[in-house]
Amino acid sequence: MIDKPKFRRRKDARPGEIIEAALDVFADHGFAQARLDDIAERAGVSKGSIYLHFSSKEDLFRAVVTKSIAPNVAMVRDLAHSGDADFVQLMEMLPRLLGQVLKASQVGAVAKIVIGESRNFPALALHWHNEVVNPMLSIFTGLIAAAQHSGRVRSGEPRLFAVQLAGPVMLGFLWHEIMEPIGAEPIPFEDLLHQHVQTMLRGMLINLDKIDE
């Protein structure tokens, strides 16, 4: 009773706490099944307080998506500027980074919701596309196009090459998120990334000296 300060007076911290709690609840139950009561309770605030910072459940979800996206966007930007590395090296690094982020953060959980709710909240899918998927794809695309110009990569649509690179990363992650929890045989993520990059490089490069031992 007495150990529960009713008013904490730290407005600035609240939205973040609420978003964190909401992230967990959304990740656990999806958008529709998530209850604001649960989010409020987990955030340690009253339900009404949520509305001091977010105008609706949907708005809160948007914030969650944006927030969970932010660090990834930063990562993507950093990757974009690490362009001085060798093409082959980058090809080996990037999917690994991608995978690390997916697993380290709740991005994957949010991504699943965005996928499931894409028809109900197209704006979120758009946000996701603009901030995460497309930039990341563009980076790969740019690298590949450059490598083609310098004669190291075979002809072919660079954007499709990028999709080819990213696809198994995504599938591996979804497997990890969806199938492994229900008892399916795991897909070793690191091995998958390594083998995929090797295979893709062999399929894309004109001169295989670099990757042949």
Partner DNA sequence: AATGAATGAGCGTTCATTCAT
Partner DNA sequence: CATGAATGAACGCTCATTCAT
Give contact residues for DNA (rule: CB under 7 A).
5-12, 14, 33-37, 44-52, 55-58
Q: What distance in Å separates the CA atoms of residue 187 and residue 90, rounded to the nearest whole number? A: 23
**Which does residue 178 touch among its own copies, DNA, none (CB within 5 to 8 A, set by kind)?**
its own copies
In angstroms, the Cα distances linking 213 to 13, 198, 208, 209 are 54, 12, 10, 8
What span, in angstroms and rounded, lies between the C-alpha atoms of 9 and 52? 13
Q: Is 182 in the site for its own copies (CB under 8 A)?
A: yes
d(CA 98, CA 138): 14
CB 202 → its own copies: shortest distance, Å?
Answer: 4
User: Footprint of its own copies on residues 29-48 (CB under 8 A)?
Assistant: 29-33
φ and ψ at 183, to 5 degrees?
Answer: 100, 5
* Residue 170 makes contact with its own copies by CB under 8 A: yes
Give the separation between CA 168 and CA 193, rounded to whole angstroms.
8
Residue 151 interacts, among DNA, its own copies, none and using kind-specific CB cut-offs from 5 to 8 Å, with: none
Which residues here bind its own copies, judged by CB under 8 A?
A: 27-33, 112-120, 122-123, 125-126, 129, 133-134, 156-157, 159-161, 163-164, 166-172, 174-175, 177-179, 181-184, 187-188, 191-192, 195-196, 198-204
